[in-house]
Chain A
């Protein structure tokens, strides 16, 4: 029996001259939630598409429950449940009809199929709306059916590609709780997101991706320790934030200062000691600080530290 649920080995994929995935490797252990965290365009979805059999890699391979996606693609797919980023359902069919159809595609039939459909509808809280057409559902309800469709055949591994994008907080909460529940039941989950909070809340381990590469991976604490437990200080200034950032880079104790959405983000090992110096520097440079927000070290800080950019960029 394979030790890892998913094992990715030197995967590469380029579209014309653009390298979407440049030789990434990671593994998802059995029974864990593993998150791929990175901004849009980092290569997460391409990696997911290769693992789920949608795209053929230029080089490298991936094993799903020990089955190569290249040599044993059907066996690999049977172990996988894929929740696509966009809702991929038939809007002219009811929730139940959709699940029955997708269940059949997974090879289920008869009473087993009906029972699994009932279970999944109950699990995503849509048993009472099962006859409603998908086209009439809210975004959150569609997302829930979208997830249910991937779990019908009780896969060993679930791949979820940014399942909470563009939905209301209530549905998002429901999905996150559902992922945790799946994990409690022993399912391995490969989860991609660009929301740091989701990765922190759900994941046993995290790989941070940027520009087609995995730039760091480990548990949340391991990643934070990688950047020396630096705090992040967000400052709003009167005047030009670029000039402020330039001035603060020279301040003692500041390891990095960048501008994000009109505010200046400063990384510092000792925030309490640095903040007074920032005020002093601002006064000397002729601008004022209108607000200060000190954040404890987190994945956002890690990404900022490693790339010089925020996850939202």
Chain B
């Protein structure tokens, strides 16, 4: 029980210490908060994506032709597939659109020029859609521009297709009017796209009817164009929030592991602190063996790191909605973390003679080891293989690897080897540190 009393005393001291709470718990959470908000807001509920504000778009449709292709363009921006991403409101003229931008009431303005439909459907015509954007905004205007570009490319493609087809038909002696009727038969490709209903307007030329039809086809498939931009509605495809959480979990795990190593060493340093304060000498006058006293101090390191890691995992789960994988995997990773960080901390602290040396040695040594161990590069998707190899030469690298496996949702069995390596690192470091401490104090 002596060991437990010593560990409990140290743990209570740590939990009362503003320094410990600040460095070991609050800083990792604060740093993660900064990342979290920088990357798009809080995620509190499963299935809810990152809360990106809709792109406020004002549109001016000056296209007056009977085909209403301008309307088609605007309907693509306000269609269901971009709901929540683009919020489009039509205004009367360009002046109003500019005013909305100037007043920061809109992020983007889209102006469809007069005669847009005619220009688009005329093989020699030229249409120019104007895009105005708030210069401060970057992502929103780029998305709208990409959507428009996709539409206009489709228009151009349609015209090219029609011209090519007409040219080929002419060579075979078919008039343009005859070729336009091909769509009414079940002709094989390349006329496949010409099948289906065409706008009812009888005044439309054959070319216009074909292009209008192509546009309708395009509109139906507009979602695919939007998907090409990688802007997905929260409910569609892969869950963005899950990806975001996974990334944040990786970043947070890196921070947690770094600070767990720091806590391990800082807590182990309490032996040196107690030596300086005279309490260790007093402990040695008690009717308790020195090995048990040192054992109690080691136990306090393990307990403090375990409490810190558990606090951080719980806090990050509730505050940021981070996910730590399967329970068994997370527990295994946590156990490995506690073993490795405690052992490494005891070893590092055993080489420190005075608490004054502690700051630079712990701060410098653990920062370098953390960098080499890959704790700060979790958000970097493709680190060089050599870097990853170096990381695995340090316990930090193995602990991080353990958390990456857990976060990826893999079962505990996949983590077993990594856990054993983490544990071995901890055991070896612990043995070295305990031997040094025993030689010094026992």
Partner of B281, one of A74, A78, A84, A102: A84
Interface size classification for chain A? 20 to 34
Asked whether, in the complex, the Cβ of A77 is within 8 Å of the Cβ of B278, the reply is no
Partner of B5, one of A75, A90, A105: A105
Asked whether, in the complex, the Cβ of B279 is within 8 Å of the Cβ of A74, the reply is no
In Å, the complex CA distance between A92 and B9 comes to: 11
The answer, yes or no, to whether B394 is at the interface (CB within 8 Å) is: no
What is the 8 Å Cβ interface bit string for chain A, positions 102-120, against chain B (1 contact, 0 not)?
Answer: 1011110000000000000
For A107, list chain B residues within 8 Å (CB).
287
In Å, the complex CA distance between A248 and B353 comes to: 52
Known contacts: A87-B278, A88-B279. The answer to whether A78 contacts B13 by CB under 8 A is no
A171 vs chain B, min Cβ distance (A): 19
For A149, list chain B residues within 8 Å (CB).
282
Asked whether, in the complex, the Cβ of B286 is within 8 Å of the Cβ of A77, the reply is yes
The answer, yes or no, to whether A89 is at the interface (CB within 8 Å) is: yes
| Of listed B5, B16, B282, residue having the most chain A CB within 10 A | B282
The answer, yes or no, to whether A82 is at the interface (CB within 8 Å) is: yes
Asked whether, in the complex, the Cβ of A54 is within 8 Å of the Cβ of B284, the reply is yes
B197 vs chain A, min Cβ distance (A): 82
Least CB separation from B283: chain A residue: A105
Question: 11 extra interchain contacts, Cβ-Cβ under 8 A, other than A54-B284, A80-B285?
Answer: A53-B284, A54-B285, A74-B289, A84-B285, A87-B278, A88-B278, A104-B1, A104-B5, A105-B5, A105-B283, A149-B282
Asked whether, in the complex, the Cβ of A90 is within 8 Å of the Cβ of B285, the reply is no
In Å, the complex CA distance between A144 and B323 comes to: 53
Partner of B9, one of A54, A87, A91, A101: A101
In Å, the complex CA distance between A93 and B283 comes to: 16
Known contacts: A90-B13, A92-B13, A101-B9. The answer to whether A82 contacts B285 by CB under 8 A is yes
Between A and B, 7 residue pairs with Cβ closer than 8 Å are: A53-B285, A54-B284, A75-B287, A84-B278, A88-B277, A92-B17, A101-B5
Asked whether, in the complex, the Cβ of A74 is within 8 Å of the Cβ of B287, the reply is yes
Asked whether, in the complex, the Cβ of B278 is within 8 Å of the Cβ of A90, the reply is no
What is the 8 Å Cβ interface bit string for chain B, positions 152-187, against chain A (1 contact, 0 not)?
Answer: 000000000000000000000000000000000000
| Of listed A78, A91, A101, A106, residue having the most chain B CB within 10 A | A101
For A102, list chain B residues within 8 Å (CB).
282, 286
The answer, yes or no, to whether A52 is at the interface (CB within 8 Å) is: yes
| Of listed B2, B5, B16, B286, residue having the most chain A CB within 10 A | B286
Partner of B282, one of A84, A92, A93: A84
The answer, yes or no, to whether B288 is at the interface (CB within 8 Å) is: yes
Which A-B residue pairs are the 4 nearest by beta carbons?
Answer: A88-B278, A88-B282, A77-B287, A105-B286
Report A's interface with B, CB cutoff 8 A: 52-54, 74-75, 77-78, 80, 82, 84, 86-93, 101-102, 104-107, 149
Asked whether, in the complex, the Cβ of B278 is within 8 Å of the Cβ of A86, the reply is yes
A156 vs chain B, min Cβ distance (A): 13
Interface size on B, residues (CB 8 A): 20
Least CB separation from A83: chain B residue: B282
Partner of A78, one of B9, B16, B284, B287: B287
For A74, list chain B residues within 8 Å (CB).
287, 289
For B277, list chain A residues within 8 Å (CB).
88, 90-91
For B285, list chain A residues within 8 Å (CB).
52-54, 77, 80, 82, 84
In Å, the complex CA distance between A97 and B210 comes to: 89
For B279, list chain A residues within 8 Å (CB).
88-90
Least CB separation from B282: chain A residue: A88
Known contacts: A92-B17, A101-B5, A101-B9. The answer to whether A54 contacts B286 by CB under 8 A is no
For A86, list chain B residues within 8 Å (CB).
278
For A106, list chain B residues within 8 Å (CB).
286-287
Asked whether, in the complex, the Cβ of B9 is within 8 Å of the Cβ of A82, the reply is no
A92 vs chain B, min Cβ distance (A): 5
In Å, the complex CA distance between A178 and B288 comes to: 27
| Of listed A52, A93, A105, residue having the most chain B CB within 10 A | A105
In Å, the complex CA distance between A88 and B288 comes to: 17
A27 vs chain B, min Cβ distance (A): 20
Least CB separation from B278: chain A residue: A88
Known contacts: A101-B5, A105-B5. The answer to whether A88 contacts B13 by CB under 8 A is no
Least CB separation from A153: chain B residue: B287
Least CB separation from A104: chain B residue: B5
In Å, the complex CA distance between A106 and B281 comes to: 14
Least CB separation from B296: chain A residue: A105
For B286, list chain A residues within 8 Å (CB).
77, 102, 105-106
B231 vs chain A, min Cβ distance (A): 54
For A52, list chain B residues within 8 Å (CB).
285
Known contacts: A90-B9, A92-B16, A92-B17. The answer to whether A105 contacts B2 by CB under 8 A is yes
In chain B, residues 269-307, which have Cβ atoms closer than 8 Å to a Cβ of chain A?
Answer: 277-279, 281-289
Least CB separation from A48: chain B residue: B285
Least CB separation from A51: chain B residue: B285
What is the 8 Å Cβ interface bit string for chain B, positions 3-15, against chain A (1 contact, 0 not)?
Answer: 0010001001100
For A101, list chain B residues within 8 Å (CB).
5, 9
In Å, the complex CA distance between A241 and B288 comes to: 55
Least CB separation from B280: chain A residue: A88
For B12, list chain A residues within 8 Å (CB).
93
For B287, list chain A residues within 8 Å (CB).
74-75, 77-78, 106-107
A190 vs chain B, min Cβ distance (A): 13
Known contacts: A105-B288, A106-B287, A107-B287. The answer to whether A88 contacts B281 by CB under 8 A is yes
In chain B, residues 169-224, which have Cβ atoms closer than 8 Å to a Cβ of chain A?
Answer: none
A142 vs chain B, min Cβ distance (A): 12
Asked whether, in the complex, the Cβ of A82 is within 8 Å of the Cβ of B13, the reply is no
In Å, the complex CA distance between A84 and B16 comes to: 26
A113 vs chain B, min Cβ distance (A): 11
For A54, list chain B residues within 8 Å (CB).
281, 284-285
In Å, the complex CA distance between A75 and B289 comes to: 12
